[in-house]
Amino acid sequence: MKCIVLVGYMCVGKTTVGKALAKSLGLTFYDLDWYIEERFHKRIPQIFAEEGEERFRDLERRMLREVAEFENVVLSCGGGTPIHHGNMDYMNGVATTVYLQASPTTICEHLKISKGERPLLKGKTPEELEKFVREQLAQRTLYYEKAQYTVNVDILDDYDKIDDVVRLIRTKLSLLSESI
């Protein structure tokens, strides 16, 4: 099976859904950010701080092209991955892509409870955060919507709903295999 790539804005549940989807399909799960951190022995915020976003995006592009060639994997990408270096077109060419879509309100709620350090959000007030998310999501949606499938994840507030999203993705993927 080709690689299945999950795209979407930060904190929409790509890693959570990706792990559950991989488990349900008997596939291996990779998170692109984690993969980069393992390969370069640095956390993403450290790479941003020491080398800048441009260097990070180049590393991200190279590592995406490495992992997306793997078979029998589910890959979760960072929120900015699809918008740089032609990555979304590349992913559509080598993998099955799924956009996990959420509203700005849902994303902001998830970001408030997220434990991860996010370099692009550092030091923002709640009002600045919401404005930033809305503006950035408006810019990125064009890229995310290039995915072959879209699944709304505004409902991800408990484990049963994660299972519902996984079932929905599996249904979409089974329709794909039937049409081949």
Return d(Cα 167, Cα 140) in angstroms, integer. Answer: 26
Q: What is the dotted CATH code of the domain comprising 3-155?
A: 3.40.50.300
DSSP of 13-49: SHHHHHHHHHHHHT-EEEEHHHHHHHHHTS-HHHHHH
Cα 24 to chain centroid, rounded: 18
Mean pLDDT of the chain: 88
| Predicted confidence (pLDDT) at residue 14 exceeds the cutoff of 90 | yes
DSSP letter (8 states) at residue 83? G
Q: What's the token pair of residue 72?
A: 């029998």
Domain coordinates of the chain in residue numbers? 3-155
- Strand ranges of the sheet holding 28-31, from the earlier edge strand across to the other edge: 28-31, 73-76, 3-7, 95-101, 149-152
Beta pairing partners, 152 = 101
How much is the pLDDT for 172? 87
pLDDT, tens digit (0-9, with 9 covering 90-100), for 106-121: 888 888 776 566 666 7
How much is the pLDDT for 110? 81
Does the model's pTM come out above 0.95? no
How much is the pLDDT for 180? 35
For the chain, the C-alpha Rg in angstroms (whole number) is: 16
